[in-house]
Chains A and B, each alone.
Chain A
């Protein structure tokens, strides 16, 4: 018996003996972890964090088990020293789902619990700010519930019957009385309806807050940055309360690009979700494919052949490089270096996109991974191109970018000591990826919980210790260099052989059970939680989006700094709205 299994057994004994009756092992077929009674949840979580070392709560999500009349909240906790997940769940009745909030124990649960409330209607007791997060306050219903139907509802599952064999063309809006994607609850009257005013301050833009207890009668003002603002990298909004130019409070508002990825994902078949994952973090589509493929492969029990594994790693690392240099370019844009650094960065990115286009068929929306392999082999001439890039051009260009920016006094003065996140805070807020590692926590899923063939490569986990904006810039430089190292090794070792295991089907019957596939995406830990009931469609499909969860720490980082700093702090987190809002 290995050391790790002994440890896990001990954990199990500790947990089961400490909480008799209220904690049980999850014994459903294909499931893992523990089922905890709602009343014992907080004690259970405290024990996990303080005694067993599970200090990092990665993912919180809900599942609607409609046939059983239950709602389930699923938690995935990790140790920042590495190792597999500890999964625990709380089951509550569907009519009145109330679960104690874990925000006091793991502050990183904040946004994720709000999301579960918004989309599934699970109430978290004791949550400091339980408001809708992706939809707006006042929206009718909780859309991810299985009995909630969207206006363009056609059938429970794809493929739709209306497409074949008697496919008479129609547009979905032709069948809606308004000709639009809208539906209203029965008896609703727009004239007597009044908007929910709890957020009036936020929604009306510039507001004023009286400041108490000062000698001089000064005022604080509320300023909205976004949702249409060049600094917010898309349609993101920061509601900033200012005292002069200093930030007193900041509230991120998102959902402006909430395109219902999960609801659509649950209507789709397993394979159909692959191209949809491209559109999550559209700057790193290969990583998204990777995470989803891993999750489903766990359920299917297939293993890709050797060559496919190497191709996957090469593609994922190329993605990381192009994402990071793009992020650095845009970050400098935010800092005011108007365009030149980002133009340099985009030049390298274009060359990598050429490779994606030649291999996968599209610059951005690659749709390249399949369950048990990849869609196409890399042609010889493209392989030569990758070689040129990895051994010649990219190392040279990264050095040039380094010379250009790293020691520039402006970058240093603007970056050093701004937006500091301590390691304790970073772990507590469930920050992931470069944000976590720049704060001095050397946690990288590729090392901490190796997937695919990352255990074969020689690379360093980049880590920096100040946790400020400048370090978050530096860590991206470091990671690009490490990625180049990995690609170089992979190119040297890649064997010949098949690129996909078995014959590809267009519909998969996935064995019942749950799986959590996670990869170290460029933005951080990207996880896919899928539940199968043995059908051709996922029952639950949830994305643990690093861009979304990293924002939990944004307010903490910004307080006390100037407005201009908020812009670069956001830039240094590197969010992509497609993933934040899904």
Chain B
């Protein structure tokens, strides 16, 4: 108990202090306000100042990052919005906070439901950003957003309706490129398989009919 422990500990803090200046000097201007600098500051070998100068520079969020959900729509060549959501209601059934409200469209003529939402509400004061809705949506229609700068002065803004929830598929492809590609791949494969199955079925049907015809012909003879 002669104070050597404290001195040794102070040595550690002193080393950190010196490291800061040495590192700043060594890396120069590339350390701040550059992509490279941010990547360095979040890597395992970082030394010295660690701070991200938000808002001048922002820590990029990873692809899987999730904040409040949004709905994906596709743009037809005519410029129309085609909403992917078919209002199947799985997201409302899996949402732990029960923050999703979907109103299904009914056909005015037949009175039967149509596969598109008439209205869609998400209360982000309830949402727990868990991402289960996006995970279990069978149509890749609801996805988690990357925008986190949502602070408001008025809480009534925090209920998002259909118009405010919609975002184009190009935006989705931009924030989650890997996921998007994987899903497109799967979709293509599924369509391929469907097409093949249909073809095979058509073939089988043709073959059956041919066989039938043959049989009938044979009977006639």
Binding site for B on A (CB under 8 A): 158-160, 162-169, 171, 268-269, 271-276, 279, 340, 344, 347, 350-351, 354, 357-362, 365, 367, 375-376, 385, 388-389, 392-393, 400, 403-413, 504, 506-507
Q: Mark B139-153, 1 if CB is under 8 A from A, else 0.
A: 000001000000000
CB–CB B9/A403 < 8 A: yes
Partner of B103, one of A165, A268, A275, A354: A165
B6 to chain A, nearest CB (A): 5
Cβ of B8 under 8 Å from chain A: yes
The count of chain B contact residues (Cβ–Cβ below 8 Å) is 51
Given A163-B98, A167-B103, A268-B96, A351 contacting B44 (CB threshold 8 A): yes
- Bound together, the chains give a CA A497 to CA B32 distance in angstroms of 40
Cβ of B102 under 8 Å from chain A: yes
- Bound together, the chains give a CA A385 to CA B45 distance in angstroms of 10
Given A167-B92, A169-B101, A388-B43, A367 contacting B132 (CB threshold 8 A): yes
Q: Which residues of A contact B128 (CB under 8 A)?
A: 275-276, 279, 365
CB–CB A361/B65 < 8 A: yes
CB–CB A164/B136 < 8 A: no
Q: Which residues of B contact A158 (CB under 8 A)?
A: 96, 98
CB–CB A362/B93 < 8 A: no
Given A367-B131, A392-B44, A164 contacting B12 (CB threshold 8 A): no
B178 to chain A, nearest CB (A): 8
Cβ of B83 under 8 Å from chain A: no
Q: Which residues of A contact B50 (CB under 8 A)?
A: 347, 350
Binding site for A on B (CB under 8 A): 1-6, 8-9, 11-13, 16, 42-45, 50, 61-66, 87, 89-90, 92-96, 98, 100-104, 113, 119, 121, 123, 128-132, 135-136, 144, 159, 161
B215 to chain A, nearest CB (A): 43
Given A361-B66, A506-B136, A169 contacting B93 (CB threshold 8 A): no
Partner of B62, one of A160, A358, A389, A410: A358
Q: Which of A350, A400, A408, A504 has the most CB of B within 10 A?
A: A408
A301 to chain B, nearest CB (A): 22
Between-chain CB contacts (< 8 Å), 24 pairs? A158-B96, A162-B101, A164-B93, A164-B100, A164-B102, A165-B87, A165-B113, A168-B101, A169-B101, A269-B94, A274-B130, A279-B128, A340-B13, A358-B62, A359-B64, A361-B66, A365-B130, A388-B43, A400-B12, A404-B12, A407-B4, A408-B8, A410-B6, A411-B5
Q: A271-B94, A279-B128 are in contact. List 6 more A-B contacts (CB 8 A).
A: A164-B87, A165-B102, A407-B9, A409-B5, A410-B6, A507-B94
Q: Which residues of A contact B100 (CB under 8 A)?
A: 163-164, 167
CB–CB A169/B121 < 8 A: yes
CB–CB A388/B9 < 8 A: no
Q: Which residues of B contact A406 (CB under 8 A)?
A: 5
- Bound together, the chains give a CA A164 to CA B4 distance in angstroms of 69
- Bound together, the chains give a CA A158 to CA B98 distance in angstroms of 8
CB–CB B98/A408 < 8 A: no
CB–CB B66/A404 < 8 A: no
Which are the 3 A-B pairs with shortest beta-carbon distances?
Answer: A167-B101, A407-B5, A275-B130
CB–CB B89/A405 < 8 A: no
CB–CB A409/B6 < 8 A: yes
CB–CB A272/B94 < 8 A: yes
- Bound together, the chains give a CA A268 to CA B94 distance in angstroms of 9
Q: Which residues of B contact A413 (CB under 8 A)?
A: 1
CB–CB B102/A163 < 8 A: yes
Chain A residue, CB-CB nearest to B15: A400
Q: Which residues of A contact B3 (CB under 8 A)?
A: 409
CB–CB B66/A362 < 8 A: yes
Partner of A403, one of B1, B12, B65, B89: B12
Given A158-B98, A506-B94, A409 contacting B1 (CB threshold 8 A): yes
Partner of B129, one of A160, A272, A362: A362
Q: Which residues of B contact A409 (CB under 8 A)?
A: 1-3, 5-6
Given A166-B103, A409-B3, A159 contacting B43 (CB threshold 8 A): no
CB–CB B65/A159 < 8 A: no
Q: Which residues of B contact A162 (CB under 8 A)?
A: 101
Q: Which residues of B contact A506 (CB under 8 A)?
A: 90, 93-94, 132, 136
- Bound together, the chains give a CA A274 to CA B113 distance in angstroms of 33
